[in-house]
A = this chain, B = another copy of it.
């Protein structure tokens, strides 16, 4: 139940109430009734220290999109359909307008996807620099399937929107006070891949999927059992300018690919005969073949787009 004891309880309730009747659940008098009977999947994530810049620039819609994206993209990986969220908003000051605006954007993003907001809390944290929006997302899985690459799979990359929500501690370290020059890059919201891919996966054979966030390309290792991933440099997903700038400040190739998405926000592994269909169906976001899966002992090898080096994790 959305029973924050903080100010704006009534206004917040009026907003979130708009989400209480969906194809999946119905919320009446504080009690949630589910209309489905599948296994459940739980997830939680926030925007991390990117919240410093989003707060500074008062880009509240961006904060909401980021927090939603971090959850939606991770649910996509396990083929889970989101049906409920519970949010915990941390705001550094008691700013009614900003808080209600944030909840308003959250309601908008949830209504779009038939997600109910069934609980939440607003905390004024004046010991914090920046805002944070922690979203716990509840999903269901119609048919559980393994999420792993197979030898022979083609790796398809889907482009990112730049930095997304990870590696910001590193970014601050590198840019220091210089960050204002790059502020527009720092606050760009993470792309939400589930909107274009969640339906697609019901109709094509996909073996493995990975959201390239914290840990970046080292995360592909989780999907490698008895095989290696090879990412070549001859593909159409170029690292955005911001990554080139960061590389230019002296970060190594290995550090780049384990910290940043370097232009690729989501990776799918699928058999050769599904590749054209997948790429043509992910219409709204640019995608392309970036590599393949060969037999091996669970390593990731990447030909850097920044130099002639090859990296191994």
Question: What is A's interface to B at a CB cutoff of 8 Å?
Answer: 1, 3, 5-6, 29-34, 39-46, 48-49, 51-52, 74, 78, 84, 86-88, 90, 118-121, 123-130, 132, 134, 136, 138, 141, 144, 169, 213-215, 219
Contact = CB atoms under 8 A, between A and B. Distances in A.
- Which are the 8 A-B pairs with shortest beta-carbon distances? A42-B119, A31-B39, A136-B136, A32-B40, A127-B129, A5-B214, A42-B118, A88-B134
Q: How many copies does the complex hold?
A: 2
Contact of A42 (B44, B86, B169): B86
A136 B119 contact: yes
Given A86-B42, A88-B136, A118-B42, A1 B78 contact: yes
Given A78-B1, A119-B43, A127 B128 contact: yes
Given A127-B128, A130-B127, A214-B6, A40 B49 contact: no
A45 B121 contact: yes
Contacts of A120: 44
A144 B29 contact: yes
A29 B169 CA distance: 32
A266 to B, nearest CB: 14
B126 A49 contact: yes
Contacts of A213: 5
Contacts of A90: 132
Contacts of A88: 44-46, 88, 134, 136
Nearest to A216: B5
A48 B123 contact: yes
Nearest to A126: B169
Given A31-B41, A121-B45, A219-B5, A52 B136 contact: no
A136 B84 contact: no
A41 to B, nearest CB: 6
Given A31-B141, A119-B42, A219-B5, A128 B126 contact: no
Contacts of A49: 125-127
A187 B120 CA distance: 25
Residue of A51, A74, A88 with most partner-chain B CB within 10 A: A88
